Structure 1
């Protein structure tokens, strides 16, 4: 009941008490008709006098009661003690997943929302914002109880059970992807699957996705560093396409390479790719040539946040000479403003002049529109949760995200959009409005999510990919918001990498660790060959599932093996030619053992790039 309803109830009780007193004091009559008449007449005069005093007394009493009630309501602990029995009620926990490049802004907005909804000293809702999986992973997650792919389940058999299933995280209540084309593609895929009961198979239960409109927008922009900045080279205000923009920069040798977020894990990179296939100088519109040029860049890999976080870090080498980037406007604005980009490994600091990015707008680059998707799971959907989700959506749609570097859903800048406005100066015009538009690059590549993925995957060279998965004892340690084992995170990352490999490419999985020393040995043997049980070569899509299943079945065993030793052993078993070797490890030692002379060999850094789990 609202506070004013409770106040009315208490006031009603006070009035009822006055009425009872009035009735009680006005009762009684003598015998006989005339006696009764006279008594009633005299009594009427007395009651009139008494009522006048009672009204005065009653009004004063009611006024006093109102003062007391107002005092109670404006003293939060006292009000909580009366209305909640001395303690706050249990808040509703909303689980929100969003594009990794949008976690920073949405997380900041969620904290403001929770503060707004914490009236009377009690928090009514908590909002946990985490990064979602790439589009293909999200499709399978929403179709299979929010578990990682590679479980080997058949969607046609609701009674099937996986040997092991790894959750992508807590099942979300809200999903805010970067683009409606991704939301529609995932929803249509999930709705086309057979529905399984959560009681029969929790892993095969699928989510119901309800698209409920955009909450913000952000255009993709071309960014160049100070050495390449030449505003007079191009038209103002984003009134040119990306191809003439790139031709101008490449033609004057101001830009020699272009970095985009990885389409494997970034929606913005995937959405920009079809247009880049048409616009990349020297590619003649051939996707394979454009993809080869984009893949040669020596830039940090990952999404836009990870890429710019590395470029902003003064402890790392300067950005490659004459390199440009394609990133969301909101990410570039936060980068230049020194705001939070990622986690603890990305400190807040403004970039030096050498590392500052300058924006250039093109009228055919995609605009991210961040749709709000209400996610419903069997057994978790109820009235209070529905109302909490609806309230959060309405709050966001009142332009709450414009304070965090994003635009309104219609593409308009507001007075709160200081980070974006600060990129505007006498030479650089930041448009006041960039209306939403679909991805450009031809209908064959941009008609749907499947078209985007197909276009990208078939333009990539079919290079072999080998994944080395650390299965040493330290991978059994737990961490993260769900306190899951490191191995679970590593398996999810390995599956994500495999899922992005071209179907025709050879894929190999290596598991590596080192056996503990035998009795009498002071140190474990070095040069231990990795277990062969998880190694599978794949040349066909049907065999790719075997590779993924092997990664899913991995268990921890042994001690840490020096990365250089592990890489050397794997390299000797790889096919000749250009290929990619990805090492997935937590980089940690196993917990200390009681043996005083036991230890683990040092893990000197090698030339391979490792991915901490």
Structure 2
């Protein structure tokens, strides 16, 4: 419609221009034509169009009249250019916002990103549409960052936080005060100045019991969560099932363990009962390193756990089909229908979601963090946080030391869990194909050297009762088989043999991934080892290059070997992907294989391999 109006005005002006005999009318007509051309054609096309107009003016027009017309059109072009420049610099390009570096937990990273984006939009609403901050959210486990935070992000002998984790954070949003205590304890033990400036709880998320087998509803305060879980786990038929995240990798998993390792009266169970319950949880849980990976696996399969102990925050995201974060769940997935309501008990332990400010933050960033904290505690953020599964901060859950939301003796809970956990029998198969020689970061560091470093660091998790073996694929030159070091108990001599063996390998050849998976799982299935967690862990940076077996046959073999109580885990780095390889939709081959093997596929950048490997082995080994 506007274009039609402009064309109509231009037509009238053209008629006047051809018949005008005074300077004023000529100037007005030329101005209208120039303005209409910019309106309808755009600036660059208008310049060419108006030049043609000036050259094609009526032959009888005097030189003075031609000058008037050209000047009027030129004036419009200059004004139009000035207006365009003002609009370009004011509306479309806001001043550079202050980068706010926010460190989050892996389980809370997705929610943290959403909260940070909402805050940035809130700052823009009062600033002519220009956000005052640019939030940069990144995630790492507490075990990975606690030492770096205590040292104020300075390097240590084996840790380079800036390179391995990211920039020094302006603010930290862990899941619980338990995470903050770890940093404080390291600083105290190392006689380091405390990095903690201020700690504020921004919400709470209780541990809930949910699932298709959960039908009981607490009738009074006497119906505690340990009492209800004990009734579930102590039944004989049908066989009990309970999923929970690993307490050594997840704070929510630790709070869940403090529930299922207690009896109906709230006391820690006897060792034999703890062993039985820990086994039930492990057998019921696939991909349970943390609660996001645990529930993501169910969501992708369109299933609901029989029973699960998880935080209200993550369960609510699960039932609403929101993105959980983590591999395979970065986008919303429709949830199964008719999901049961979770059991929420007032006395249950809870994540207290602290916001941690640091002593090293500059004055400008400190003011930005203060405004972020005030917004999170304001009514403007209440509805957003509530929809995300967070309740109001609990007054009794805002202190580091005396905190009603946390177990009174978390170290005791962890000790009982570690003693109850079965020792591990783990075979690690490391990809030594030619692509593993690709450099990472510096010219001296390759994917393989980083992997070897990760193996060496992970061996620190190995207990004397745990067993470990090492393979390489393809078969290294000069060796008769994939085996570098046979599976054996984790003695100091065995650990040294593993590290020395890796030093003799040079990356070369293809990637017979599927054949290695079948052979490795078969080796664990036929070997002896008693009552142990048996798992094959594969580290690879590419897709299968072997011809046999194919994916379908490998999946069938993995399912068969899983029935022999062997699990499969894959750490994918480099070009390897757990999902959507080469534009294909749906689960990738690595995800399909680990799901069939009741394990997990973990994506890790080259610099993340040591942390990922240590976290996984901490789950599989007892450490004692």
In structure 2, what is the Cα distance between the partners aligned to 1:280 and 1:498? 38
Match of 2:173 in 1: 176
- SS in structure 1 of the partner of residue 371 of structure 2: helix
In structure 1, what is the Cα distance between the partners aligned to 2:209 and 2:223? 12
Q: Does 1:408 align with 2:392?
A: yes
Matches within 5 A, 1:52-451: 78=86, 88-118=94-124, 119-133=127-141, 135-143=142-150, 167-193=164-190, 208-225=195-212, 228-230=213-215, 233-236=216-219, 240-249=223-232, 251=235, 256-279=240-263, 284-286=269-271, 287-314=274-301, 318-319=303-304, 323-343=306-326, 345-346=328-329, 347-353=331-337, 356-375=339-358, 381-398=361-378, 400=381, 401-410=385-394, 437-440=404-407, 443=408, 445-446=409-410, 450-451=411-412
- SS in structure 2 of the partner of residue 464 of structure 1: strand
Match of 2:542 in 1: 588
- CA drift of 1:609 comes to 1.8
Per-residue CA distance 1:148-180 (angstroms, 9 max, x = gap): 99x658xxxxxxxx9x99613443332222111
Per-residue CA distance 1:171-210 (angstroms, 9 max, x = gap): 3332222111221122221343265xxxxxxxxxx98233
| Shift in alpha-carbon separation, 1:214–1:545, aligned structure 2, 3 A | farther
In structure 1, what is the Cα distance between the partners aligned to 2:501 and 2:341? 46
- SS in structure 2 of the partner of residue 359 of structure 1: coil
Q: Which has the higher contact order (CA 8 A, sep 6+)?
A: 1
| Shift in alpha-carbon separation, 1:132–1:79, aligned structure 2, 3 A | same
Match of 2:468 in 1: 508
Q: Does 1:470 align with 2:424?
A: no
In structure 2, what is the Cα distance between the partners aligned to 1:97 and 1:215? 15
In structure 2, what is the Cα distance between the partners aligned to 1:411 and 1:353? 36
- CA drift of 1:268 comes to 0.4
Match of 2:421 in 1: 460
In structure 2, what is the Cα distance between the partners aligned to 1:76 and 1:332? 50
Task: List runs of 5+ in structure 1 lacking aligned partners.
Answer: 1-74, 154-161, 196-205, 413-434, 519-524, 591-598
Match of 1:568 in 2: 519
TM-score (structure 1 length as normaliser): 0.61
| Shift in alpha-carbon separation, 1:550–1:366, aligned structure 2, 3 A | farther
Q: CA contact under 8 A between 2:515 and 2:546: conserved in structure 1?
A: no
| Shift in alpha-carbon separation, 1:108–1:436, aligned structure 2, 3 A | farther
Q: CA contact under 8 A between 2:427 and 2:520: conserved in structure 1?
A: no
Q: CA contact under 8 A between 1:223 and 1:359: conserved in structure 2?
A: yes
- CA drift of 1:324 comes to 0.6
- SS in structure 2 of the partner of residue 296 of structure 1: helix
In structure 2, what is the Cα distance between the partners aligned to 1:191 and 1:99? 23
- CA drift of 1:328 comes to 0.5
Q: CA contact under 8 A between 1:148 and 1:167: conserved in structure 2?
A: no
- SS in structure 1 of the partner of residue 128 of structure 2: helix
TM-score (structure 2 length as normaliser): 0.60
Q: CA contact under 8 A between 1:80 and 1:120: conserved in structure 2?
A: no
In structure 1, what is the Cα distance between the partners aligned to 2:424 and 2:534? 7
Match of 1:64 in 2: none
Q: CA contact under 8 A between 2:471 and 2:482: conserved in structure 1?
A: no
- CA drift of 1:350 comes to 3.4
- SS in structure 1 of the partner of residue 164 of structure 2: coil
| Shift in alpha-carbon separation, 1:360–1:110, aligned structure 2, 3 A | same
Task: List runs of 5+ in structure 2 lacking aligned partners.
Answer: 1-82, 397-401, 559-566, 573-624
| Shift in alpha-carbon separation, 1:547–1:169, aligned structure 2, 3 A | farther
Q: CA contact under 8 A between 1:166 and 1:492: conserved in structure 2?
A: no
| Shift in alpha-carbon separation, 1:566–1:309, aligned structure 2, 3 A | closer
Q: CA contact under 8 A between 1:474 and 1:589: conserved in structure 2?
A: no
Which range moved further: 489-498 or 273-282? Answer: 489-498
Q: CA contact under 8 A between 2:538 and 2:569: conserved in structure 1?
A: yes
Q: CA contact under 8 A between 2:207 and 2:255: conserved in structure 1?
A: no
Find the partner of 1:529 among 450, 467, 482.
482
- CA drift of 1:540 comes to 5.1
Q: CA contact under 8 A between 1:464 and 1:505: conserved in structure 2?
A: no
Q: CA contact under 8 A between 1:221 and 1:360: conserved in structure 2?
A: yes
- CA drift of 1:454 comes to 3.3
| Shift in alpha-carbon separation, 1:494–1:280, aligned structure 2, 3 A | farther
In structure 1, what is the Cα distance between the partners aligned to 2:136 and 2:517? 38
Per-residue CA distance 1:1-47 (angstroms, 9 max, x = gap): xxxxxxxxxxxxxxxxxxxxxxxxxxxxxxxxxxxxxxxxxxxxxxx
